[in-house]
Amino acid sequence: MSDEKLGLWKDDDLSTMISRSTGNRYYQALPEEVQFVHSVAKVLAMRNAKDKTALCSAPSLYVLGPVPENVRVVPKREPTFSLGGVNVAGKIWFGAQAMNSCNGFAIFTGADSDAIFTFVSKTLASGSRPAIYFDGSSSEALLRFYPKGVDTPEDCEDILFGGANFNETILKDLLDRIHEKSLITPTAGSAAKDIWQDKEKGFPVERAEGAIQKIVQVGLVIGLGNLKVKSEETGVFGRYDLAVIEQDPLDPSKNTNHAILELKIVKAYTNSGNKVSDAANQKAVQKGIRQAFAYRMEHGSRFSALCCYDLRPAPSLHKYSTSKCKNAVKLDVKFWAWPIFSTPESARIWLEEKYLSGNT
């Protein structure tokens, strides 16, 4: 329908324009390097779908940041980079977090990762910038994120490549890693301290679930590469916490709803130190199972899970598997739980008990 108020675009089909958008700015609020990981993974997924042979013909490296100055070789800018139309193989790409436009330096033929990293570090003086390395030469393609740059290669994280193979096992493994690396104690990651109001007394902050959700989302965005981890969309049955969605790399108007994640915390105290009863915790878990089920049905997701984070001084939920949770079995909801400790000392005691009981 024509609308004169829209000026030159009065007859344009804006609805189609939105549905076909391949942009990635929905992560605007997340840290730049997290946005960068998703943008690169999305481009690689498109390249993989369009021309896998070309993509895997040589390794490629992606660096978040400006093109280095005072380098003899002038890189070529590719303004259609994020559309997946550019052969990325055999080049070192510099771009901003959206990776809409990138500048590529050719990698000399036959260079391995060591030679490429040295070139980035020494010649391009960009070894401390967040980087992603892709090598598709073997059957299991390698997509690896270096948050502190290639100068610190020991600090790295593998990213899922090829979202079509995404399943419950991959998600659970990733959530386990996020728990271990960023949640289990206040010192596990830079944001884990935000969960606790008073660590010594074990009082969580008022919005502990929100703080955990933020950490989990960032971990999932990095680990799941081109898959979109959307938070809090309101629907008929309420608002889900997290959803894992995949945009078709060849037809952006098509989306696959892979998973719904409902997050719940189980705690012994409120932020002000009042005791929380077992009945209240049980109620929260049962509610979470119903939510995970309802949101999965509403959004047509392949599977759903209730992720419980047990903040009690003597956590026990992680001992329960899905099969022991009747409602979860009936509604086909995965039930996963992890303990979170307010001090490293309480985590050490837990680890020791686990070891002595033979459950390591």
Partner 1 sequence: MNSDHTPSLLEPAEQSRRWLRILSILDACRWVGLTPVTTGSLHVIAYLSEVLAPIWMLEPLDGKVLKQSTAPYYPALQQDIDRLIGMGLVRVDDLKIGRNNGDIPIVLPKISLIVERVEPILTVLRELPGEEVVLDFLREVVQAFSRLSDEQVPSSMSEDATYGSPAVDTGQVIDLGEWLSADETATSYTVDRIRQLAGDEMNPAEIIDVYVNHIVCRVNHE
CB of 78 to partner 1, least distance (A): 9
Residues engaged in binding partner 1 (CB under 8 A)? 3-9, 12, 14-15, 17-18, 21, 23, 25-26, 28-29, 65-67, 69, 77, 79-80, 82, 94-98, 100-103, 233
Measured at the alpha carbon of residue 53, what is the angle toward residues 47 and 54, in degrees to the nearest 5? Answer: 60
Task: Compute the least distance from the CB of residue 148 to partner 1, in Å.
Answer: 19
Paired tokens of 340:
């979170």
Looking at the DSSP bridge assignments, the partners of residue 259 are: 244, 303
d(CA 146, CA 186): 23
Q: Shortest approach of partner 1 to residue 5 CB, angstroms?
A: 4
Give the three-state DSSP class for 238: strand
In the complex with partner 1, which residue's Cβ is closer, 18 or 329? 18
How many CB atoms sit inside 10 A of residue 204's CB?
25
The H or E element spanning position 259 is strand 255-266
Q: How far is the CB of 225 from partner 1 (least distance, A)?
A: 20
200 closest CA partner among 313, 277, 352: 313
Q: Which CB sits closer to partner 1, 101 or 282? A: 101
- Whichever of 206 and 232 has its CB closer to partner 1, that residue is 232
Q: Which is nearer to partner 1, 66 or 273 (CB)?
A: 66
Six-digit token string for 290: 């119903």
Minimum CB separation from partner 1 for residue 233, in Å? 7
Cβ proximity to partner 1, 105 vs 203, nearer residue = 105
> 116: buried, middle or exposed (CB in 10 Å: 19+, 13-18, 0-12)?
buried
